[in-house]
Every structure is written in C-alpha cells, then in structure tokens.
Amino acid sequence: MITRADIVLDNNRPGLLPELGIDLERLRDGDERPIWVSMPGFASTDPEFAGTPGWEILIGATCGMFTDTA
C-alpha cells in the first residue's frame, strides 16, 4: 500500500519507520511524486527532548498545560 501513496504522514517517534524499512528513498523508488511529512512530538533540534516519543500526556506536561489542574 505504501508504494502507491502520494503522501506519507509520519507521526511516530523519530527513526521508527526507517527501522521498519520504510524511508523516502524506498517510497520514491524512482518516482518523484511522493511527499513525506514528519510530525514528531518534539523538535529534532531540542537539546532536551529530541528523539523523545510524543505521547499526549508528556507533551501536555512539558508545555505547562497541567500546571493549573489538581
């Protein structure tokens, strides 16, 4: 199915799809149309959280969303 995709939305932890053998070069396989969109929970340049899985509760806690809930 992925070989017929025009767009791939990747919201997994960074590096998971390549570990599964899925990457942009393999997806394209000579076809320049496919678009790969990576949406990790944290920026890859973040010195503290880069590579951290973006679980909802973790993102909420790191952005201060839970400071007023008790």
Q: Report whether pLDDT(56) > 60.
A: yes
Reading the block at residue 24, the tokens are: 């942009």
Q: Report whether pLDDT(33) > 70.
A: yes
Sign of CA dihedral 48, 40, 20, 23: negative
Considering the entire predicted model, what is its pTM? 0.54
pLDDT average, residue stretch 23-49: 77
Residues pairing with 6 in the sheet:
none
Residue (of 37, 62, 42, 64) closest to 53 by Cα position: 42
